[in-house]
Amino acid sequence: MKVTGSCHCGEIAFEADVDPGRVSICHCTDCQVLTGTAYRITVPTAAKDLRMLRGTPRVYLKTTADSGNVRRQAFCATCGTPIMAYADTDTPDAYGLRVGTLDQRAQLAPQRRIWCRSQLPWSQDVSAVPGVAGQQ
């Protein structure tokens, strides 16, 4: 599936080919902190299938808690939107795109969840929480 995406301010734009069957939710505490919410939703793309159309993300090096591996977290330096993560190398094989940045996000339903031992119990079913259609 071809996807297009950008940061909130539009400084960074990209397109990629992804497999919708590989969308995942990560409940690890690093993803909770880095997103400022309960989990992160990601879809991988091969390096050869990612094309940057505009801008260059800034990179933050994150050491994972369990393995000690270093991952590059790419984000927009202007608006702070997380864009992708990848191995700590200048020539990664793949990138984990942040689904929230993709124009086709409604078509990319998660197919699996990882790091469930860190999931926040209240985040699993919010259907009973009262909601409104727009901002109040």
CATH number where 43 lies? 2.170.150.70
Hey, what are 135's tokens?
């901002």
Domain presence at residue 125 = no
* CA 18 – CA 28 distance, rounded (Å): 23
* CA 4 – CA 16 distance, rounded (Å): 7
Q: Tokens 């050491």 appear where? A: 63
Domain presence at residue 134 = no
The ranges of the chain with pLDDT < 50 are none
Domain presence at residue 64 = yes
Range of the domain at 13: 2-120
**What integer pLDDT is reported at residue 65 of this predicted model?**
66
- Tell me the torsion sign for CA atoms 75, 111, 108, 128: negative
Domain presence at residue 79 = yes
Domain presence at residue 82 = yes
Domain presence at residue 66 = yes
Domain presence at residue 33 = yes
Number of domains in the chain: 1
